[in-house]
Amino acid sequence: MNYIKRAIQSLWAKKGRSIIMIAVFSAILIFVLAGLTIRSGAELATTNAKKSVGATVTLSTNREAMFKQQSDSDSDDESSRPDPGSFEQTPVNLSDAKKMAKLSNVKSYSFEASTSADKSTGITPISSDSDSEEESSDEQAAGFGGQEAPGGMSQGDFQIKGVSKSSSYSDFSSGTASLVEGEAITSDDEGTNNVLIEQSLAEANDLSVGDKFKIKDTDDKDVEVTIKGIYKTSDSGDSMSARFNFMNPANTIFSSYTMVNTLTGSEGKTIDSAVYNLDDPKDMDSFVKAANKLIDTDTFSLETNDQMYQQMLQPLNNVSSFAKNIVILVAAAGVIILTLIIMLSIRERKYEIGVLLSLGESRVKVISQFFVEIFVCMIFALGIAAASGNVVGNAVGNQLLSQQTTSQNADGQEANAAGNGGPGQGGQGQAPGGGNGGPGGGGQMGSNPFTQSEEIQELNISMQPTEILSLAGIGLGISLFSIVLSSAGILRLNPKKILIS
Amino acid sequence: MTLSTKDLSYWYENNGPLFENVNLIFEKGKMYAILGTSGSGKTTFLSLIAGLDTPKSGEILYDDKSLKKIGLREYRRKDVSIVFQAYNLLPYLSAVDNVVTAMEIAQSQQADKKAYALANLEKVGITKELAEKKVTMLSGGQQQRVAITRALCCEHDLIVADEPTGNLDEATSGEIVKLFQEIAHEQKKCIILVTHEQDVAKGCDVVYELKNQEFSQVS
């Protein structure tokens, strides 16, 4: 083992050369470590993002299948023409929805139902249009619905959105709506007539939390409701809301989904849709598989949405992939640089090698001595890299992520501009569809309740023992490769030529 | 211990032979000199008997065993020590560490190698204080003494030296020759010196001269 001693003596005697070697190795290892930590940071952020974003599965009527069924039935009966007005949606059975909620991996769920209702006493809707308000009052005498939609369908004054938890509803979770007074609708409100009304509606009617007012159900009977909370919304509505009161965001009343059933007379057994938030997007397929066994897939469908998750992961995946390339490139560059340094060093140390060979030392031991020298430098460099790799990793990683996120956002904005908002989280926001003859379909297309989580706005890069071990492994590999590549120079040396010349 | 050459010949490509069919015998307890002018091939001859090179034809026998059979590296490690004109010490080591390094490579059985090296350095006039210094801090004569001690401490029976006094002044040169004589006669080593200096050759027991590709015994 005298070659180890000689290596240490050589390193100590030639301090300048040793310091240069440590500096070069440190630079290599710092970049390798930065790559490793960025990569693991990105992977950790991906895992966190998976957990924070989750995934959404929506149970609702299988419109496509039902349209097809309707169409087939119409074609069988050649004498009759298709009647668009005869299409009826089958509401989701509440017991099926609850069974699905008990499946594993469900983090939270929200049942949703919607309908529209007319005013009765104690409240007047925010008028979208003075003319239509007048029409509305005229129409009330004709039956349910204060306004007449195109096609002769009658509408109410208010849109009632029944939820299991108002805080889970997309408007609230995305920040479009926020509670300003009172309390939110929760599962405790099931079976009650507690509601949330919009701030401007409350102010216009001089209503506050705890006040009661009456609306009409589908049988035109008065239903008394209690104001549990007041919310405000930043949604200013669309062109339709200027024509119909119920589409005015200020006339949206939130209640428990059970109250919607009371208003529609379905006795609390059905809902329009159920939204399930899963713990982890990777469980989505297994969840859908299990859920499909619980429902009639001809009547109901499950819509999955992990697009946001995939979109938010793109920058992380790019950073992770880039970090992997950094590790490979720096390691390869490290091997080349160190090989060249060692080769130059061998030229410089030919005389020493000649002396050792003339004394009968084996070439393997001479190569081993050089390896030990590199290895000792690597140990020092490892310490330096470990001390500074975190700082470099954080700086480089966050810079990369920032660039990737900016690029991703720019791409997303371009795509949105081109695609008119792109796909939203279908099903979470329900327009009045399955209720009292409102215009079906819709949903809050284009709105997306998710925002990028903190984990991907900033990478939290911290070194773990596994990264140091990986770094040590890579450092050892670089040392070995450089020595093996440069050892050809030592193997070729002839002591006679060195010493006698 | 005997070292013998059997029909030893050597030549460089595109040149005539340096020497041909050399048959010499070297024994322990004697000091030999190989005399010759520059370019005569005496250093090449030394490199062959030191196991640094292989002959073009013929063979070298150490205790009647061919060096080919022993293996050149093994021969250098176990049987022969070399002293060079330029000392060839490891410059980053101290005098004593140079000696200890050679002893370790030779797998010396001395229990306390450093103490043994210091004692032998002391014998050749290198004090402990000097022995702890890097060899580059020592004079030429002192470095050559360290090189000789390195050869001595490996406890090999054969020591070959290439122009060991070539870089030294006359007085120091005389001291080194005297030191070699003591080693050969008192420690019963076989010492073969290659030199072009007649004064150095005079101190040897047997002198061969390499002239016109042939060895001849001159004393």
Cα–Cα distance, A456 to A480 (Å, whole number) = 37
Highest mean pLDDT among A187-196, B7-16, B131-140: B131-140
Give the closest residue to B124 by CA, choosing from B186, B182, B187, B164. B182
The pLDDT, as a whole number, for residue A211 is 92
Edge to edge, the sheet with strand B214-217 lists: B80-83, B158-162, B190-195, B31-35, B206-211, B214-217
Query: What mean pLDDT do residues A450-470 have?
Result: 65
User: Is the pLDDT confidence value at B202 over 80?
Assistant: yes
Do B74 and B113 fall within a single domain? Answer: no
Q: Is residue B166 in some structural domain?
A: yes
Do B7 and B70 fall within a single domain? Answer: yes
Do B2 and B64 fall within a single domain? Answer: yes
> Closest Cα of chain B to A491: distance in Å?
13
Q: Which of B77, B93, B105 sits opposite A9 (nearest CB)?
A: B93
The residue with greater pLDDT, A463 or A199, is A199
Do B37 and B141 fall within a single domain? Answer: no
**Are B92 and A9 an interchain contact pair (Cβ–Cβ within 8 Å)?**
yes
Give the closest residue to A484 by CA, choosing from A350, A352, A338. A338
Predicted confidence band of residue A153 (pLDDT cuts 50, 70, 90): very low
- Within 8 A by CB and 6+ apart from A183, the residues are A228, A229
Taking CA atoms, B75 is separated from A1, B127, B129, in Å, by 20, 31, 33
Burial of A285 (0-12, 13-18, 19+ CB in 10 A): exposed
> Closest Cα of chain A to B110: distance in Å?
15
CA atoms within 13 A on the CB side of A194: 21
Q: Is residue B139 in some structural domain?
A: yes
User: Is the pLDDT confidence value at A423 over 80?
Assistant: no
The pLDDT, as a whole number, for residue A452 is 44
Q: State the Cα angle at A373 between A370 and A377, rounded to 5°.
A: 140
Boundary of a domain, candidates B104, B123, B155: B155
- The structure tokens 């016109």 sit at B212
Q: What is the CATH number of the domain that holds B15?
A: 3.40.50.300
Do B71 and B6 fall within a single domain? Answer: yes
Q: State the Cα angle at A102 between A101 and A104, rounded to 5°.
A: 105
ipTM: 0.91
The pLDDT, as a whole number, for residue B101 is 94
Do B105 and B13 fall within a single domain? Answer: no
Residue B33's domain spans which residues?
A: 1-79+156-219
What proportions of chain A, in percent to the nearest 5, are helix, strand and coil?
Answer: 55, 15, 30
Selected for mutation to probe chain A from B38, B90, B93, B100 (highest A CB count within 10 Å) is B90
Cα–Cα distance, A117 to A41 (Å, whole number) = 52
Do B165 and B191 fall within a single domain? Answer: yes
Q: Other C-beta atoms within 10 Å of A198: how many? A: 24
Q: Is residue B51 in some structural domain?
A: yes
Do B97 and B71 fall within a single domain? Answer: no
Q: Other C-beta atoms within 10 Å of B57: how many? A: 12
> Closest Cα of chain A to B34: distance in Å?
16
Taking CA atoms, B26 is separated from A313, A360, B30, in Å, by 82, 21, 8
Predicted confidence band of residue A404 (pLDDT cuts 50, 70, 90): low
**Are B101 and A6 an interchain contact pair (Cβ–Cβ within 8 Å)?**
yes
Cα–Cα distance, A251 to A305 (Å, whole number) = 29
Query: What mean pLDDT do residues A452-475 have?
Result: 72
Do B40 and B69 fall within a single domain? Answer: yes
The pLDDT, as a whole number, for residue A180 is 92
Burial track A1-19 (b if 16+ CB lie within 10 A, e otherwise): ebbbebbebbbebbeebbe
Q: Is residue B49 in some structural domain?
A: yes
User: Is the pLDDT confidence value at A111 over 60?
Assistant: yes
Q: Is residue B85 in some structural domain?
A: no
pLDDT, tens only, B145-187: 999 999 989 999 999 999 888 888 888 888 889 989 999 999 9
Predicted confidence band of residue A217 (pLDDT cuts 50, 70, 90): confident
Cα–Cα distance, B10 to B17 (Å, whole number) = 6
Q: Are B43 and B52 in contact (CB under 8 A)?
A: no
Highest mean pLDDT among A38-42, A141-145, A227-231, A407-411: A227-231
Give the closest residue to B131 by CA, choosing from B172, B87, B93. B93
Boundary of a domain, candidates B122, B155, B188: B155
The pLDDT, as a whole number, for residue B14 is 80
Highest mean pLDDT among A137-146, A276-285, B177-186: B177-186
The pLDDT, as a whole number, for residue A285 is 82
Please state whether beta strands A55-61 and A273-278 pair in parallel, antiparallel, or not at all (unpaired): antiparallel
Q: Is residue B84 in some structural domain?
A: no
Cα–Cα distance, A271 to A234 (Å, whole number) = 27
Q: Is residue B18 in some structural domain?
A: yes
pLDDT, tens only, B93-142: 999 999 999 999 999 999 999 999 999 999 888 999 999 999 999 999 89
Do B53 and B121 fall within a single domain? Answer: no
Do B57 and B162 fall within a single domain? Answer: yes
Number of domains in chain B: 2
Predicted confidence band of residue A85 (pLDDT cuts 50, 70, 90): very low
The residue with greater pLDDT, B123 or A268, is B123
- Tokens representing B62? 């150490």
Burial of A355 (0-12, 13-18, 19+ CB in 10 A): buried
**Are B106 and A361 an interchain contact pair (Cβ–Cβ within 8 Å)?**
no
Cα–Cα distance, A494 to A363 (Å, whole number) = 11
- The structure tokens 């101290």 sit at B94
Q: Are A318 and A404 in contact (CB under 8 A)?
A: yes
Predicted confidence band of residue B210 (pLDDT cuts 50, 70, 90): very high
Taking CA atoms, A236 is separated from A1, A176, A481, in Å, by 82, 10, 66
Nearest CA in chain B to A5: B101
Do B141 and B202 fall within a single domain? Answer: no
Cα–Cα distance, A413 to A104 (Å, whole number) = 36
Q: Which of B47, B77, B105 sits opposite A2 (nearest CB)?
A: B105
Nearest CA in chain A to B74: A360
Residues of B whose CB is below 8 A from A500: 43, 47, 52, 162
The pLDDT, as a whole number, for residue A77 is 53
> Closest Cα of chain A to B159: distance in Å?
12
Q: Other C-beta atoms within 10 Å of B159: how many? A: 25
Predicted confidence band of residue A242 (pLDDT cuts 50, 70, 90): low
pLDDT, tens only, B44-90: 999 999 999 999 999 999 999 999 999 999 999 999 999 988 888 99
**Residue boundaries of the structural domains of chain A:** 2-51+312-417+450-500, 93-300
Q: Average per-residue pLDDT in chain A? A: 75
